[in-house]
């Protein structure tokens, strides 16, 4: 190998090492990622003994649970419900909100806050559905927490 090729390979090797060094330095000195309130609480739990830690984790899980009863079928005359029910169980820690979505994913109803222990037995759809049976989705979540939500199937019959 001639001297020019050797020098070129040395410079390329040094360049690669410098690039790797810069990448490592940027990664280690870069801004810290934002930590959620939940992660902060979990990190604080790591600083206590194992039995107390499990107790704290159980409390966090319980705090995040959502318990809702709803009927899997609703009946409407036009846009007004004749048969509908959703209940925010009183052991929930927060108010809930829910939305109904039709088969195309369009929102046909958005609720106001429903406090723990309260239920709704009548609603009026924001969008008219055709007469017949529709396989829709009910999305339920905490109104202000925003981190707990679930979607469930619901059959809507329009008469």
Contact 153, 134 (CB under 8 A): no
How many whole angstroms separate alpha carbon 27 and alpha carbon 132?
Answer: 58
Name the β-bridge partners of 54: none
Of residues 54 and 116, which shows the higher confidence score?
Answer: 116
**Does 53 have pLDDT greater than 80?**
no
Percent of residues, the chain, with pLDDT higher than 90: 47
Q: What is the pTM of this model?
A: 0.61
Helices (H), 46-142: 50-64
pLDDT for residue 117: 94
Q: What is the pairing mode between strands 149-158 and 73-77?
A: parallel
3-state helix, strand, coil split of the chain in percent (to 5) is 30, 30, 35
156: helix, coil or strand?
strand
Residue 40 confidence class, pLDDT cut points 50, 70, 90: confident
* CATH top class, domain 66-158: mainly beta
């Amino acid at each position: 190998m001639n001297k020019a090729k050797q020098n070129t390979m040395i410079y390329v090797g040094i360049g690669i090492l410098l690039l790797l060094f810069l990448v490592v330095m940027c990664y280690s000195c870069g801004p810290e990622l934002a930590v959620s309130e939940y992660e902060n609480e979990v990190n604080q739990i790591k600083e206590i003994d194992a039995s107390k830690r499990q107790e704290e984790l159980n409390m966090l899980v319980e705090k995040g649970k959502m318990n809702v009863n709803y009927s899997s079928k609703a009946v409407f005359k036009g846009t007004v419900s004749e048969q509908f029910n959703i209940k925010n169980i009183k052991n929930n820690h927060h108010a809930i909100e829910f939305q109904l979505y039709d088969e195309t994913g369009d929102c046909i109803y958005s609720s106001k806050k429903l406090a723990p222990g309260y239920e709704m037995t009548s609603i009026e759809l924001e969008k008219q559905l055709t007469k017949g049976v529709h396989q829709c989705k009910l999305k339920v979540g905490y109104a202000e927490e925003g981190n707990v939500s679930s979607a469930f199937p619901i059959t809507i019959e329009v008469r």
